[in-house]
Amino acid sequence: ETGVTQSPTHLIKTRGQQVTLRCSSQSGHNTVSWYQQALGQGPQFIFQYYREEENGRGNFPPRFSGLQFPNYSSELNVNALELDDSALYLCASSLVGTRRETQYFGPGTRLLVL
């Protein structure tokens, strides 16, 4: 157990809808990164939040957005869902300022878009 929690565990949406995924970071960690993992692929970096601000973004469109709260928990929002958004969404927490900033993953949210 990494101490990183995510909700919900599973979600089914239809194309065009919006979804919000939530993540609570490990105690003592101040940074949350979000990844998308399609079936049979490695995780792809979506973005990272540090001190409630976006601290880097991968190659994802603006309809993917996020928030970080003062308690370091985070949300990932996806608007106008597309079929290709079906994937496992992972959040990882880490502590900026520690050596190499190792990231620990939560259990993930599996999203299916119909």
DSSP-derived secondary structure letter, 15: T
Identify residues 94-113 at the interface with other proteins (CB under 8 A): 94, 96, 99-108
Nearest to 71 by CA among 56, 52, 90: 52
Distances 48 to 10, 51, 76, 94, 114 between C-alpha atoms, Å: 22, 10, 10, 10, 28
Interface pattern 4-33 for other proteins (x via CB under 8 A): ---------------------------x-x
Of 40, 62, 70, 71, the residue at the interface with other proteins (CB under 8 A) is 40
Of 14, 17, 41, 79, the residue at the interface with other proteins (CB under 8 A) is 41
* Residue type for position 105: F
Determine how many CB atoms are found less than 10 A away from the CB of residue 89.
24
Of 20, 30, 55, 86, the residue at the interface with other proteins (CB under 8 A) is 55
Told to check if 52 binds other proteins by CB under 8 A, we report no
